[in-house]
Structure 1
């Protein structure tokens, strides 16, 4: 698993042998079981997670109903773009058994002190996560639920097979019955 971590960072920027070794040596990888929570609403999200294997879902509760806001799969970061001193408004739950790399600001700062160049890689990671979040928000503001479903089919076709229909419906902003109608309409138009 540590080789996957080093490969991921190497794909962003070529690493020296010492940098690669430091990343591998400092990598904390943990297995989580399906149904395990990484964070709950009201808790502080001080750790970040990198999905090596598995699927993590982000949701919040509105009037007792789960509203799915994100799915994180292999090679994606599960991180809060807020500050660590503000309680989370979300739940992060493992929807499959997961292997996750665990990081936090203190661990990152320790490795940056030793290898300052790695800080620019971390900045790129956070920038890319922010761009992904911004893109998701923009599609919710401009696209219809059917367009969001089509984008999901195009960008993450495997996700459709990995999550229950009610979570998929929540993610695109409709009830499960509406998602069924969207699917029927799309099948009819093929």
Structure 2
């Protein structure tokens, strides 16, 4: 699993052996079982996560109903940064939909890496830009597309997610009822 983290980071910056050794020493990797809630809404999160393998659902509970806001698949940082940086209660819960392996980082290790390995600041900026772009696109799609258009967009951009996520979670994420999603899927399947 450590190789996956090194391979991913190497897409953005060239890592020296010293940097790889420091990552191996200071960034723990942990596997969570399917169904594990990593952080609950209202708890203060003190670490950041990076998904190496598996699937995590982000959701909020509003008037007793869970509203899915995002799915984190492989090679994605989990968005806990606001809670970590501000030491404030998390707005979201994060739950594993599959057995999931995460790299775990603290702000102390991050600051140490920034001081010892300056190119990690570049990495942080690049990852933040990439993550912000994805979040903005997701927000715009939700505001500008119909639920059916959002489904087709998801089908085109991340077809494996359709197979990996329960229909009621997908429906919540797309802003529709499970019954509406079922009708859309049925219409799609019947088209030549």
TM-score after normalising by structure 1 = 0.95
- Rate the CA distance shift 1:108–1:81 in 2: closer, same or farther, 3 A: closer
Q: Tell me which stretches of 4 or more aligned residues in structure 1 moved more than 4 Å.
A: none
Q: Distance in 2 between matches of 1:56 and 1:15?
A: 28
Structure 1 counterpart SS, 2:186? helix
Aligned length: 190
The secondary structure found in structure 2 opposite 1:12 is: coil
Bigger drift between 13-22 and 97-106 goes to 13-22
Q: How does 1:1-190 map to 2 (within 5 A)?
A: 1-82=1-82, 83-190=85-192
Assess if the C-alpha contact under 8 Å between 1:56 and 1:95 holds in 2. yes
On the 8 A contact 1:47/1:79 being kept in 2, the answer is no
* Secondary structure, aligned partner of 2:38: strand
Does the 8 A contact of 2:51 with 2:102 survive in 1? yes
Question: How many angstroms does 1:81 deviate by?
Answer: 4.5
8 Å Cα contact 2:13/2:119 also seen in 1: no
Q: State the alpha-carbon separation in 2 of the partners of residues 27 and 85 from structure 1.
A: 20
Matched position secondary structure for 1:11: coil
Task: Tell me how far 1:45 sits from its aligned partner.
Answer: 2.1
1:138-184 residue CA offsets vs partner (Å, 9 max, x unmatched): 00000111111111111111111111100010010000000011112
Task: List alignment gaps of at least 5 residues for structure 1.
Answer: none
Give 1:47 deviation, angstroms.
1.3
Q: CA RMSD in A?
A: 1.3
Q: Offset at 1:91?
A: 0.5
**In 2, Cα distance between the equivalents of 1:23 and 1:118?**
11
Q: In structure 1, how many angstroms separate the alpha carbons of the residues matched to 2:81 and 2:140?
A: 16
